Amino acid sequence: MSLKVSILIISQFLFIFKVLLAQLYPLDSTFGVNGHTIADITSNKDFVQNHIAMQSDGKIVIATSSLTYFNGTEYNYDFCIIRYNTDGTIDNSFGEAGIVITDLGSPNDIPLDIVTDFYDRIVVAGTSTIPGSWNSIVVRYNPDGSLDSDFGNNGIVTENLSIMDIFYSIELQPDGKILAGGIGNFKGSLYRFLTDGSLDSSFGDSGKTSLQFGEVTGIRDIAYTDDGYIIVAGNIGGAINDGFVAKLNPDGSLNISFASNGKYIVNYGSNEFINAVGCQSDGKIILAGTIGYESPSIPMFGDFLLTRLLPNGIPDLTFNNSGVVTIKFGVGYSINECCSVSINANNDIFAVGYTDNLQLTNSRIALAKLTANGSLDFTYGSNGKVISEFGSSKEKGMGSLLDYNDKLVVSGIYGANINPILARYETVLINSAIIHSAAKPGIMLFHNPDDLTIHGKLTGLTDGKYEYKIHRVSGDIFSEGCISLQNGTFSIEVKSYISGIYILSVFGPHEVLSKSFIRI
């Protein structure tokens, strides 16, 4: 065999190996170091945290906790916010060298969720302890990382219903109001705050509402629908654990037309835990978490659990032909927990979490891609699944989002000190090769409900003129015209609009981009 032929065969083999490796392990090598980045922050808190959000310029912010020891054995946990550039490097223009640490005055200040608002301010929810009590906390930061003095008490809002109050989730409404949910007095607690941090008296009982579907009820995640309803999901504790999802009206009352008197209980005869909820573009609801099994001979083990409901709360039997999907990583008995779910414009579903052995000594970030019908996407990873290993025995995926380039960014924990880790994954594999998809068109609105003008941003479209229509929630067209897109931004005057919820639709060359807003 000639040298040229040998080299050609070797080159072809290396190319095929590289393509196969890309299929099995679709990390985005342009992000951080070989697709991931690890921050030198000690947390030591091993639970579902390190959640993630994105600002309008594509920068990523995560919320974690920072551990400091003093006097030898005493310790202090503080809120810690880290901002990353789009290439995975830490953004040194934010806070101090890219990091903001906030001491709320207790030894246990633990952030559990994070969002960004229309002005790129950062809103973080969690808990803070004082002796004998846990308080629910919301903190708002300016885009540069400083505390926002226009919110609450110098940027901080504290709520307390009982000895244990925790905000696990936070969400923004289109009008800028803030929804924060968790547990208080052993019930699922949901608060709504005005943009200044005060309670919204038009919501529930003086700004808050409680849900109790069992001995202990806790809200773990919140979603907001395009037609103005609130979806909350979480868990019910007792002799056996079940998940739940509930639909609330804009005033905080249960929407009794949803499922059974406003709620759907996730009970498949085992222990079900719901960590995340997401809404598809067609209004269907995705629930994600874990289903746990028990056996006399082995400890509890579990699989990823995903359930899809129709907008009215009835199980969607077109989803995996049953309404339910369970996913196991590896072989034999193991622990597989889904902590986050992200849904793209095609209603493909990315379930993110971790897999571990029964001894809890070898956890790995795990993710799965499902098609819109609930089946695993066999063109992605290894038959629709990816397990990532970065060099330690403790690595877990906790939060996720899809960025403007439709890449999946996963936040989580790494190593014995529970360092924050970010990893970015390609989401589309075609003909056994990774395709860097172009930015998909998207729309954002920057609007307070008493503003006379809507300001918006379109991504993925060139500057020029585009037709738009504004509908009422009922479907009636209220207004239509043409916007002029300049540097990706536009504005529409709404001073003549009556109070209500509206949906703006902008007609691009190949797509319709829609977003809801509120006028008061």
Q: What does the pLDDT read at residue 449?
A: 63
Sign, CA torsion 307/308/310/316: negative
**CATH architecture for residues 270-428:** 6 Propeller (2.120)
All structural domains of the chain with their residue ranges: 270-428, 442-519
Percentage of the chain beyond pLDDT 90 is 61
Whole-angstrom distance, CA of residue 164 vs CA of residue 185: 7
**According to the 3-state scheme, what is the secondary structure of 292-309?**
EECCCCCCCEEEEEEEEE
Q: Which residues of the chain have pLDDT under 70?
A: 1-25, 44-50, 72, 74, 294-300, 331-332, 429-440, 447-450, 472-476, 510, 520
Q: What does the pLDDT read at residue 18?
A: 39
CATH number of 442-519: 2.60.40.3080
Whole-angstrom distance, CA of residue 213 vs CA of residue 241: 11
Q: What does the pLDDT read at residue 460?
A: 77
Q: Say what the pTM is.
A: 0.81
What tens digit of pLDDT does each residue of 487-515 get?
888 989 888 787 777 778 888 876 778 78
Secondary structure of residue 19 in the 3-state scheme: helix
